[in-house]
Amino acid sequence: MKEYNIAIVGATGAVGREMLNMLTVRKFPVKNLFLFASSRSAGKEIQLGQQKYIVIELTEQNVLKYAKEIDVALFSAGASVSKTFAPLFAQQGIFVIDNSSAWRMDPEVPLVVPEVNPHTLSKEKKIIANPNCSTIQMVVVLNPLHKVANIKRIIVSTYQSVSGAGAKAMLQLLNETEDVVEKLKKLTEIITDTNTYFKSNLNGKQVFPKQIAFNLIPQIDVFMDNFYTKEEMKMVNETKKILESPEIKISAQCVRVPVFRGHSESVWIETEKKLTVQEVRQILSSQQNLKVIDDPFNENPDLRYPTPLECSNQQVTFVGRIREDLSSENGLVFWIVSDNLLKGAALNAVQILEQMVKQNII
């Protein structure tokens, strides 16, 4: 079996580490690994199985130094880094699979979910974009339904875990939760105004603009001129590109929730051809990497519907709560859950890599 030399840019971050993990778990044939990160992490040692790797500082000089030894680079270091370094890798003939938003809407760059549009990969396109985490899990479910019934309209509300904002965000949730619980334990009188209490205990500049513990924040990323957030517009624009259907009407609302790992989505679609609940279950149950958990009257609560807790560290996308929309003749509603660090990022990138091997691109 042919083996490949893989670079990971942003190797010490949460997604970078999951990329390393997925290469191991999925037994991708790696010959050599080159781990790049910022100067802060350069020189650190990362253990992978029995092998130890020294983190290389991401500089132009070091990229050119190792370029001839690298086949593919997996990027998870942010849009500004990708804008600077992805072209540098590509100019050396190295394929780049980029997890940032830098290249997603570039018309010359494939935006790939292997279960949906692997045909967009080619030997000529050196930079490949990994879609936004919340978009990936949605299109995995929507694509087979779109093929059968032609989706005309999508409305989606996401409930996104704090890990989507990085390791510091997870620490913020942990610290706030511990702080609130500890202070509640010490209270000797009934709290009548919980909201005022929580607000009074916000301290210091954090990752999120408001407290996330025991709270919801209806803002992910910055607001745009149309009053939608950047995250919401990513879902709108990326879904149209991946499904190759610019005519679909889409509206999104993205909410950050106090969950450590796993994004959830409430999705409403309107189709040209009517589908019954049973037909939807059959279509989705036959799809690769998709698991239907939709038995609402089952005595076992784990079989009724999926939640983020069960999806954590799982390599599939879960769907449940499938039902016909009461307000629309051809409307359907369902609930989608997936691990945002895996299928929403690292796993999808490695699956793209596997697809490239399958299609003899590398």
146 is catalytic: no
56, 149: one domain: no
What was the pLDDT predicted at 234? 97
Residue-wise burial string across 243-260, b where 16 or more C-beta atoms lie within 10 A, e elsewhere: beeeebebebbbbbbbbe
The CATH number covering residue 257 comes to 3.30.360.10
The CATH number covering residue 71 comes to 3.40.50.720
Q: Establish if 75 belongs to a structural domain.
A: yes
Report the half-sphere exposure of 287 (CA within 13 A, side-chain side).
Answer: 24
Query: Which residue in the list 146, 254, 263, 311 is annotated as catalytic?
Result: 263
One-letter amino acid for residue 97 of the chain: I
27, 95: one domain: yes
User: What's the Cα-to-Cα distance from 264 to each of 134, 162, 296, 309, rounded to whole Å?
Assistant: 8, 12, 18, 10
249, 324: one domain: yes
Q: Establish if 38 belongs to a structural domain.
A: yes
**In sequence order, what DSSP letters do the residues of 271-282 get, joined into one string?**
ESS---HHHHHH
264, 352: one domain: no
What was the pLDDT predicted at 203? 54
CA angle 10, 15, 21 (to 5 degrees): 105
pLDDT band at 192 (very low <50, low <70, confident <90, very high): very low
Structural domain for 109, as ranges? 4-131+345-358
125, 140: one domain: no
What are the pLDDT digits (tens) for 255-314?
Answer: 999 999 999 999 999 999 999 999 999 999 999 999 999 999 999 999 999 999 999 999
Instruction: Read off φ and ψ for residue 17, nearest 5 degrees.
Output: -65, -35
Alpha carbon distance 41, 305 (integer Å): 41
pLDDT at residue 164 tops 50: yes
**Do strands 51-54 and 4-9 pair parallel, antiparallel, or not at all (unpaired)?**
unpaired
Report the half-sphere exposure of 171 (CA within 13 A, side-chain side).
Answer: 6
35, 139: one domain: no
133 is catalytic: yes
pLDDT band at 204 (very low <50, low <70, confident <90, very high): low
pLDDT band at 187 (very low <50, low <70, confident <90, very high): low
pLDDT at residue 47 tops 90: no
Q: How many domains does the chain have?
A: 2
pLDDT band at 215 (very low <50, low <70, confident <90, very high): very high
Task: Give the mean pLDDT of 236-258.
Answer: 98
Query: Which residue in the list 133, 146, 254, 311 is annotated as catalytic?
Result: 133
What was the pLDDT predicted at 158? 98
